[in-house]
Amino acid sequence: MLKTHALIVTASPSLHMKKLCRHFSHKLEVSFDDHQGEIHFPMGLTRLEVRDQTLVLEGQADDEAQLERLQQVTADHLLRFARKEPLTIDWQPGAPAAHSTAGDA
């Protein structure tokens, strides 16, 4: 299983996540709340998590072609829904770093 991730700084991470999840929920298996979501695409899985002013995207797929398609579909739709706010989506290989709490050193 190949993984990728992107950390997107935005003033409205929860709003963008929910728009994306609602859009795909009409045709795909999707689950979400105010803080996290999952979109099950035919080519793989996109997980979304809200962390303060950041939307964390994590994608996973079985091969490079499917992973690239997953990144493209996720990013294209997110950018379209956030058209009033310019977002930068820079996919990186692997899973994102674990979220630390304020008490962690």
pLDDT at 103: 42
SS3 27: coil
Asked, for residue 101, whether it belongs to a domain, the answer is no
pLDDT at 40: 98
Q: Check: CB of residue 25 under 8 Å from CB of residue 33.
A: no
Question: Structural domain of residue 55, as residue ranges?
Answer: 2-92
Q: Check: CB of residue 3 under 8 Å from CB of residue 93.
A: yes
Q: Which amino acid is at 19?
A: K
CATH number, residue 77: 3.30.310.50
Q: Which pLDDT tens digits describe the chain residue by residue (105 residues)?
A: 999 999 999 999 999 999 999 999 999 999 999 999 999 999 999 999 999 999 999 999 999 999 999 999 999 999 999 988 999 999 999 988 876 444 443
Written in H, E and C, the secondary structure of 33-74 is CCCEEEEEECCEEEEEEEECCEEEEEEEECCHHHHHHHHHHH
pLDDT at 96: 87
Asked, for residue 104, whether it belongs to a domain, the answer is no
Q: Rounded to whole angstroms, how far apart are CA atoms 96 and 17?
A: 17
Q: Which amino acid is at 20?
A: L
Domain total for the chain?
1
Asked, for residue 105, whether it belongs to a domain, the answer is no
Asked, for residue 39, whether it belongs to a domain, the answer is yes
Asked, for residue 99, whether it belongs to a domain, the answer is no
